[in-house]
Chains A and B, each alone.
Chain A
Amino acid sequence: MSNSYEGMVPSVPYLKIDSTGEPYIAGSQCGKCGQIFFGERTICARCADRTSMQAMRLGETGKLYAYTVIHRSFPGVKTPFVAATVELDGGGVLKGTLLEVEPDPAKLAFDMPVRTVFRDSGQKDQDGRPYLNYYFVPAGA
């Protein structure tokens, strides 16, 4: 599996590729209040502690907390799609697009288990390198 993401550029700063070539969602945990954030940061937004933030990797499974089915978006964006808010197992809340489900509220359940996957987004940067992005899919998929 290693190096399969070689030459790809992470879509957002909190999506990282480690030295073995594996992608992950970077997070931070406050040592004082325990709050977990996505992305790297040094000061806690919850308790304002400046000294105890630790970098961590966020979990890759979680539950669907809330969602919406987008039927109209900005020009050029393909619809419909499911915009999701996921509570990750082990802490942290992440937004993302939920794939491999029907974009129909009747087919979506609160708390349905999902997992994070890393895929070529189909977009390229100005040097022609593909952007690597993260998505959610139903945990069974």
Chain B
Amino acid sequence: MNDIYVVGIDMIRFGRFPDRTPPQLAAEAALMALDDAGLSITDMQALYCGNLMQASNMVGQRLLREIGQTGIPVVNVANACATGATAFRDGWIAIRAGLYDMVLAVGVEQMGKGLLGGTDRGGFVTEGAIGSDTMPAMFAQIGLEHQRKYGTTFEQFAKVSVKNHHHSTLNPKAMYQVETPLEQVMASEMIAYPNTKLMCSVNVDGAAAAVIASEKAVRRLGLMDRAVRIRTSVMTSNPFAEREFAMPDFNAVTRLASKHAYEAAGIGPDEINLVELHDCFATAELVHYENLGLCGEGEAGRMIDSGETALGGRIPVNVSGGLLSKGHPLGATGIANIYEVATHLRGKAGARQVEGARLGMTHVVGGGPGMGSACAIHILEKV
């Protein structure tokens, strides 16, 4: 009787909207989620708003100016690429604490084009002189660390992009709906070996929103027919890892979170029917197969070769198209992933539906050179 549910959730189609503002994009997603629940902003008791690039500009309050200033508490959240998931989790925490029965969580981002990473502090330019602080470089080294351990190949990493781009052809809300054959992925512009341009996530604008409710509210309002249970919500920061000061860690932080998540949910990875994980680069997806326990140590290369993580496979991963093809508006990604899994659990994912999906996992991880990292995992369950 104390379970917590998503009762409304949606995302705008990811794309480039240079003429609109983050609050406007957030407002569109918020209204879509409220409509999905059949509720109004006046029913919401608090707002958790995730946005990274305008973290100091009260995007949540500006969102309410667009859709109704009801005076509810607004928490503006920033946590790198885990921003949206952190906003969602903060809403979950507040309901779990018994403070509210119904809250709105929104994630939004408006991105420029080009490489992410680094910050110009003035003075000495470290880029090129002390390695690289670009995001592709960071995840390239993480991929080659996997190659060092297990012999994972450039081709195996590239297959992740082939798969996720294929998935996105079935997702009308993805930025791209284009097949990218293996040869094309491998021959596209090399950014940071082994990640080519088609193996890097797409910088897009986007917003996603969710209405989170206590069981009491769900029953009182008769919303159980559209509810998806939040089986567990966990978050970690990067625990100390041997090489992380030189090479940012996204492995230990994910392993710790997945351990907590499986323990809290009382299930194992073999019970999960689909996963939306943080494929910010093709190399990242493979290391997370192992970090999330979807396969044994060193088996990620074999797993992508075998098609187990493709739609129709044993454990489909990123059937939305993932960050690689659906797009990665940083602050929106964490809630967009939850939207994808919830849509499958509701049996409403259309051509890309994972048949019989009962339990799904979302994973995001954010961070950067010299910063540390954040990981959030949610396990959702069909009601």
Contacts and interface: CB of A to CB of B under 8 A. Distances in A.
Contacts of B126: 11-12
A121 B123 CA distance: 12
A45 B240 contact: yes
Contact of B129 (A71, A84, A86, A133): A133
Given A12-B124, A45-B240, A85-B141, A70 B130 contact: no
Interface in B173-197: 189-194
A97 interface: yes
Interface residues of B, number: 33
A70 B127 CA distance: 10
Given A65-B243, A66-B247, A83-B132, A71 B127 contact: no
A135 B91 CA distance: 47
A74 B124 contact: no
B266 interface: no
Interface in A54-102: 65-74, 77-79, 81, 83-87, 93-97
B156 interface: no
B141 A67 contact: yes
Nearest to A121: B129
Contacts of B190: 69, 71-72
A93 B132 contact: no
A73 B132 contact: yes
A37 interface: yes
A97 B131 contact: yes
A118 interface: no
B242 interface: yes
A66 B148 CA distance: 8
B265 interface: no
A3 interface: no
A38 B123 CA distance: 21
B145 interface: yes
Contacts of B129: 11, 97, 121, 123, 133, 135
From A78, A105, A125, name the one whose CB has the most chain B CB atoms within 10 angstroms. A105
A19 B245 CA distance: 27
B124 A121 contact: yes
B130 A68 contact: no
Contacts of A94: 246
A70 B132 contact: yes
A39 B130 CA distance: 14
A91 to B, nearest CB: 10
A123 B240 CA distance: 34
Contact of A69 (B124, B127, B193): B193
A5 interface: no
B128 A46 contact: no
From A38, A45, A81, A95, name the one whose CB has the most chain B CB atoms within 10 angstroms. A95
Contact of B246 (A93, A125, A135): A93
B356 interface: no
A131 B192 contact: no
Contacts of B127: 73-74, 77
B137 interface: yes
Interface string A103-115: 0010000100000
Contacts of B132: 68, 70, 73, 81, 83
Interface in B103-161: 115, 118, 123-132, 134, 136-137, 140-142, 144-145, 148
From A35, A38, A66, A71, name the one whose CB has the most chain B CB atoms within 10 angstroms. A66
Contacts of A135: 129
Nearest to A105: B193
B144 A67 contact: yes
A12 to B, nearest CB: 7
Interface of A: 11-12, 35, 37-39, 45-46, 65-74, 77-79, 81, 83-87, 93-97, 105, 110, 121, 123, 125, 131, 133-135
Interface of B: 115, 118, 123-132, 134, 136-137, 140-142, 144-145, 148, 189-194, 240, 242-243, 245-247
